[in-house]
Structure 1
Amino acid sequence: MSAMIETANLGKCYRIYNHPFHRVREALKLGKNLHREFWALKNIYLHISRGASFGIIGPNGAGKSTFLKLLSGITQPTEGTLTVNGTVASILELGAGFHHDFTGRSNVYLNCALQGYTHEDTNRILPEIIEFAELHDFIDQPVRMYSTGMYLRLAFSVATAVDPDILVVDEALSVGDEYFRNKCLDRMNEFKAKGKTILIVSHDLATIRHFCTHVALFDQGNLLAAGSPEEILDQYLEMAHKNRILHADQRSGSSTSPRWGTGEVQVEQVYMRDANGQTTDVFDTNSPITITANFRVHRPVKGVVFGFLIFRSDGTYVNGSNHYWHDTPQIFHFENDGEIGQIQCEITRFPLLPGHYYITSCCYNNLEGFPQAVDHWERALTFTISERMTGQHGVIAMDTAWNLQRQMNR
């Protein structure tokens, strides 16, 4: 598939000066160099195909935003090559590309002109921009009066109205309310359906998992990996929790799923049983099931809560349950090293529709403050709901009753 974006040995270096005057002295060649180099990006090789929805993740300072600025033409690379085949519209940090003293309307004309639109072209799409941004009463006010949400709405409206070949979004959706965030995602799905190329930087891993077809992981200016969302998100979770990863001798089985925690309690096995008490990984819709976790205590700990999170195979969050958020809350204390036990969750009617799912096992310390992971085990178990039930779509089976009432007009 043809590349919309391709980089080879791409790098961006900034000069760091300890004093503003050092920059002047160096420019006038008055003595030795007074800067130190900071490589925000180094040796980046990427191939992004036409129509890809490409996510970029990584910790703060990884180089994600620098890469998008290079792609958008805001800054130039220090080394390597960057090839972009198509027009680019970017939504970077809030206010970028806007003049604070101009009105919203003037900024629309300014940004459209930068995209090569004539005044007449902008007149044609202006009503659509105002309508999508829902800024009818504020479009003629200076944007310095806008809230962050209003900035976002206008920036996103302009960027998508100019119909670019490549749309670049850098954490912009994180500042909007839920209503406009969903509106933006709907617009991005429309772009995706048209075969547009979309790059999105986000710390919202659920959005990356659902929306993106490919993901790249950056850290300290380096490209660590690129591939499928599941593979790269696993690697990122391992990296993000590396200081709390359970040691290899504490892991159970040969699972390579991300796992972290303080380790006082270790879940050794998670399995499911059907109505007959048989261990299996295939169930019928609406059948009763029991989820069991076998655990071992390594060190005394108080305030332990066990829970299970259920996801569809594409990452859709289905349900989360634990014995603390319950009609009869329970919390457990373990005082003896070497103690072993089981925690069971019985579900009398498992209403999932046919498909593939997985369970994440959670063991947290909820004694005080924010819950801390004792043993968090991503994708501890996978299972399947059989195809025996047909006639409904989605995730959850619902009991329905239909009634038609008719009468003749006289």
Structure 2
Amino acid sequence: MRESANDIAIRVSNLGKCYQIYNAPRDRLKQFVVPRLQRLFGQPLKQYFREFWALKDVSFEIKKGETIGIIGRNGAGKSTLLQMICGTLNPTGGSILTNGRVAALLELGSGFNPEFTGRENVYMNASVLGLSNEEIDSRYDDIVAFADIGDFIDQPVKTYSSGMLVRLAFSVSAQVDPDILIVDEALGVGDMFFQAKCILRMKNIIKSGATVFFVSHDMAAIKSLCHRAIFVSEGRIIKDGNTNEVVDAYHSSSHRIDSDSLRTETIHQSFSVIDKSPQDQTKRDDLIDKEYEVDVTYMRFSKEQRYGDAKIQIESVKLLDETGKSLQEICLFQKVRLKVCLNFKEISSGEYNVGFLIRNLNGLELFGARTAELCPKIPYKHQGERGIVWFSFINYLAGGVYTVATAVSDRRKVNIIEYHDWINNACVFRSISPPDAVWGCFYNSMNEINVT
């Protein structure tokens, strides 16, 4: 059902932005002159450029009070979309409706005159956002205090660092009580203390009933702040909906396992391994063969929530107690063993890495571990072999439901992670804790408390 205009903060209909791309500067001149001559002589028109659609056929509605996260790779069209919503970029086609005062933090330093001082830019920006001089005067001290740039407030903005620019820009945007706040990745420039202060301020803005449009590559921040997310790729909306589901779709967009490669049958069979120490390896093989298993329910459940190149496949993930009993409910302070069964589907060389993440139901990542940091390098096995990785931890989580994500990846590359298999919800468990035993997410054992 279509919402009434009064309930809508932003409405985007069939929005598109097309750029003309020329192979050479002379083609731009040809495009300006030649078609005019062709029209004059009645000849068919020739085009000297190719079209690039940064956005095409984008439509969505955002209700008042919603917090929306926009995610996607660099070049997906996120910034183009925000610039058109803010009115700083004209669309090629489609329409945009905004209802209320819009405050935007887009490109670094956008809207600032580099020759003006910080004080002058505060008054200029706030007036552009619709505040009178009296309103700016009453809020000026709060803006300066939040920015916390000291005496630089009276210096030309061109002398500011990138972090100082972001501080001042966000301070102005956040203090004008916007109906719609748009933030485009700029907070990543600030230091961690200022980022934390901004997130807290954004949460207060959200509580006040404002609409927040937030672009970030920080998926934890997206999950923490946003009720809804939109995944944009190559100028089109790929998925729009629940934040956790959209983030999962974004993660899986690059590396998706072919569903035909997934195994759903139970496997209990021996296998041979070529090794320099055949006697020791045989004992180890027997142990793996005894412990290895594939959970049919797990495989069916995880099928739609995983991605990777499938060179190594995770075929079972289980939470066990110290006796080997499967756990679905875990008590506070209970020791837990996480068992991950691997199937080496293709031949590879080097070392691999296995890790896990525990998240709450909002998708917030609480803690995890990786073999890369905890143990020596683990070499790949031969094709067709299987292995088991065990993690152990004590449950300090507050009462509630949590999910476990597991992954196996190539360890050789430093800056690029190549996932063989990533499973977002490999298993789910409930943490049981006494009432008032835990404040926040974790139990914190106080060694000493002094009262004077």
How far apart, in 2, do the equivalents of 1:91 and 1:42 lie? Answer: 24
Which of 390, 405, 419 is the equivalent residue of 1:344? 390
Number of aligned positions between the proteins:
400
**CA deviations over 1:71-113 (Å, ceiling 9, x no partner):** 1111222222211110101100001111111111111121122
* Residue equivalent to 1:181: 195
Gaps of 5+ in 1: none
- Give 2:219's aligned amino acid: L
Preserved CA contact (<8 Å) 1:266 1:298: yes
Question: Is 1:355 the counterpart of 2:400 in the alignment?
Answer: yes
- Aligned to 2:171, what secondary structure does the other structure show? helix
Which of 212, 227, 251 is the equivalent residue of 2:262? 251
How far is 1:36 from its partner? 3.3
Question: Is 1:135 the counterpart of 2:149 in the alignment?
Answer: yes
- Aligned to 1:139, what secondary structure does the other structure show? helix
How far is 1:365 from its partner? 2.9
How far apart, in 1, do the equivalents of 2:206 and 2:411 lie? Answer: 42
How far apart, in 2, do the equivalents of 1:264 and 1:54 lie? Answer: 36
Preserved CA contact (<8 Å) 1:56 1:64: yes
Preserved CA contact (<8 Å) 2:68 2:226: yes
- Give 2:341's aligned amino acid: N
With over 3 angstroms needed to count, the CA separation of the structure-2 counterparts of 1:210 and 1:355, relative to structure 1, is same
- Give 1:6's aligned amino acid: R
Which of 367, 378, 389 is the equivalent residue of 2:424? 378
- Give 2:260's aligned amino acid: D
Q: Determine which structure has the larger strand proportion and give its number.
A: 1
With over 3 angstroms needed to count, the CA separation of the structure-2 counterparts of 1:11 and 1:372, relative to structure 1, is closer
How far apart, in 2, do the equivalents of 1:262 and 1:14 lie? Answer: 35
How far apart, in 2, do the equivalents of 1:390 and 1:275 lie? Answer: 27
How far is 1:13 from its partner? 2.2
After TM superposition, the score normalised by the length of structure 1 is: 0.90
Matches within 5 A, 1:173-252: 173-239=187-253, 241-242=254-255, 245-252=256-263
How far apart, in 2, do the equivalents of 1:227 and 1:70 lie? Answer: 22
Preserved CA contact (<8 Å) 2:101 2:130: no
- Give 1:103's aligned amino acid: T
* Residue equivalent to 1:4: 9
How far is 1:257 from its partner? 4.8
Question: Is 1:331 the counterpart of 2:336 in the alignment?
Answer: no
* Residue equivalent to 1:126: 140
How far is 1:136 from its partner? 2.6
RMSD of equivalent CA atoms: 2.3
- Give 1:338's aligned amino acid: G
Preserved CA contact (<8 Å) 1:56 1:216: yes
With over 3 angstroms needed to count, the CA separation of the structure-2 counterparts of 1:17 and 1:373, relative to structure 1, is closer
After TM superposition, the score normalised by the length of structure 2 is: 0.82
With over 3 angstroms needed to count, the CA separation of the structure-2 counterparts of 1:251 and 1:173, relative to structure 1, is farther
How far apart, in 1, do the equivalents of 2:396 and 2:86 lie? Answer: 47
Q: Percent identity?
A: 34
Preserved CA contact (<8 Å) 2:103 2:182: yes
- Give 1:278's aligned amino acid: K
* Residue equivalent to 2:275: none
Gaps of 5+ in 2: 39-44, 264-298
- Give 2:62's aligned amino acid: I
How far apart, in 1, do the equivalents of 2:31 and 2:230 lie? Answer: 37
How far apart, in 2, do the equivalents of 1:66 and 1:265 lie? Answer: 39
List 4+ stretches of structure 1 deviating above 6 A.
401-404
Matches within 5 A, 1:274-293: 274-293=321-340
- Give 1:75's aligned amino acid: L
